[in-house]
Amino acid sequence: MLKHFIIFVFLLFIVHTPTTMNAEELDDIREEVFQFVKEAFEAQVSITEKPRRLHEIRDILSPFFAAERIEAFIEENVVKVEGGYVALGTDMPPLEVVPFFRYSEKTKLIKDNDVYYVIEYMESTDGPVHFDPHYEGIQVKKTETSYVIEKIWKEQLPDHVEQKIGIGENREQTNVKYVDNQLPFVVMVADIPKKLPLFSTFVPLIG
């Protein structure tokens, strides 16, 4: 009986012992997740290039975003124009666009089982579009074959995510300000390899 009990305890220990990853494995995961997020962002940017049918827009975004995020992106950013639908720049916050991460040491990756949080503290900016300091982030879930972006946070992180990155309850509240009727979406994509010019509000961003 004692022997069986020892075997049971040993098996229980194995099952409940968390797995650990070495630094190289962690770096590989970080690079893999960041590459996925970059490609997801580029997919959203591509919606500004030319008018498309709605099903084509959904097909472009579906490898990267949950269905709920795709429909929210379309509702927030896509309008009907001659020849189809296209994402237009506006003076409103692009709430359903992947944040303009720098993918540097300031970009944090937090793992919680099969869910990853990509978080970055955005410094204040000057110029035609002004941002107060704030956190932005996304929730990425691991799937059987890849990843999927489930949540996008542009103004304030949810409480459970703030706790994971150690933001205190008495933190200084920060907001995002958009001024001068410019295009925050254009500012976000300005530094990607394929440059996009600035246009006036409600003009398609043709790359």
Q: What are phi and psi of 88, to 5 degrees?
A: -115, 150
What's the token pair of residue 138? 């996304």
pTM, two decimal places: 0.71
Q: In the predicted model, is pLDDT for residue 20 greater than 70?
A: no
Rounded mean pLDDT of 181-197? 35
Percent of the chain residues past pLDDT 90, beyond the cut: 53
Q: CA torsion sign, 158 to 140 to 13 to 8?
A: positive
Q: Which residues pair with 135 in a beta bridge?
A: 121
Model confidence at 132, pLDDT cuts 50, 70, 90, reads confident
What's the token pair of residue 161? 């995510």
More confident: 48 or 2: 48
Residues in the chain: 207
* Domain boundaries of the chain, sorted by first residue: 24-189
In this structure, of 75-79, 96-100, 155-159, the range with the lowest mean pLDDT score is 155-159
Rounded mean pLDDT of 28-38? 96
> Residue 158: helix, strand or coil by DSSP?
coil
CA distance 41 to 61: 9
Which amino acid does the sequence have at 29?
A: I
pLDDT at position 190: 34
